[in-house]
Amino acid sequence: MSRLPIVFRLVLGPELALWAKAGRAPVLWWRDDDARAATGALEQLLALSRRHQAPLTLAAIAGPSLPLLVSRTETEPQVELAVHGFKHVNRQPQGQGFGEIIDSDDTDWIRAQLRATVMQFHRVGVAPTLFVPPWNNLKPQLLEVLPDSAITAVSGFDQASSERDGVKRLDAHLDVLRWKGGGRFRGSWRFLSRMRRLMIQRRKAGQWDEPIGLLTHHLDHDKATWLFLERFLATFRVTARRQLTGETAAPIEALSA
Ligand SMILES: [Zn+2]
């Protein structure tokens, strides 16, 4: 533990020691949101993931640049593409938060949107099985249509993992950014203190293997965020999302044309 960066040691040291004593380590997975295109920031993210051999779930928006995004990521075996909403457009009435699906949307419309979006991925040779609703706004109507779709897992924010009608739920819990007044680094102390709380909950409940999800947004990272992630990923091992929800990757050849 002496090689841990000082702030990691100060905040997490005693808790990590308790885990080590029990022969355990936190189970982490990594979700990054809002990929639309192959950008410089995406290159930085992919290099980070490669450098630390950290499997990455990239929640991607199906737009005009999806083919290029796919051709850039298909040579990165540690990267999984997930569906990040239909168009990632906020449709909530003003003052009621953010979300793409609103209360008055019926399930037929949502089913059609989902099918069309997943089809956009299939057309460029990707078979996503995870859906990440924009702004983590998971509406009940969406959960209703998922069981008869190609999607087998969903990811929001801060809930425990679960399963409903054969669809797994695996959330993110640790947002590296804070959003009030524009996205910026949350700060090591705040981030790690939250991680300590999540670890204490899991240890006390004996749920050592309950995953903890790291959440990043590569387009919004400042220098301090990148630096922190470098240290974080050098310290902790990350598990692939598909492994945590009991899936193996579908071979591209198996996709329907
Ligand atoms: Zn988003």
Q: How remote is the CA of residue 202 from the centroid of ligand 1, in Å? A: 28
3-state secondary structure 166-195: CEEECCECEECEECCCCCEECCHHHHHHHH
Give the pLDDT confidence score for residue 145 in this predicted structure: 97
What's the average model confidence in pLDDT over 37-52? 98
> What does pTM read for this prediction?
0.94
**Contact at 8 Å (CB) between 123 and 115?**
no
- For the chain, what is the largest distance between any 2 Cα atoms, rounded to a whole number of angstroms? 56
Q: How remote is the CA of residue 59 from the centroid of ligand 1, in Å? A: 8
Q: How remote is the CA of residue 89 from the centroid of ligand 1, in Å? A: 9
Using pLDDT thresholds of 50, 70 and 90, give the confidence band for residue 181.
confident
Instruction: Write the DSSP string, 117-160.
Output: HHHHHHHTT----EE--GGG---HHHHHHGGGSS--EE--BSPP
Q: How remote is the CA of residue 122 from the centroid of ligand 1, in Å? A: 21
What's the average model confidence in pLDDT over 140-163? 96
Q: Specify the residue for token string 């990440």.
A: 132
CATH label, 27-187+207-239, candidates 3.30.70.1290, 3.20.20.370, 3.90.1640.10, 3.10.20.30: 3.20.20.370
Q: How remote is the CA of residue 133 from the centroid of ligand 1, in Å? A: 7
Q: How remote is the CA of residue 10 from the centroid of ligand 1, in Å? A: 32
What's the average model confidence in pLDDT over 65-81? 97
3-state secondary structure 179-236: CCCCCEECCHHHHHHHHHHHHHHHHHCCCCCCCEEEEECHHHCCHHHHHHHHHHHHHC
Using pLDDT thresholds of 50, 70 and 90, give the confidence band for residue 254.
very low
Give the pLDDT confidence score for residue 250 in this predicted structure: 53
Condensed to tens digits (0 to 9), the pLDDT of residues 26-43 reads: 999 999 999 999 999 999
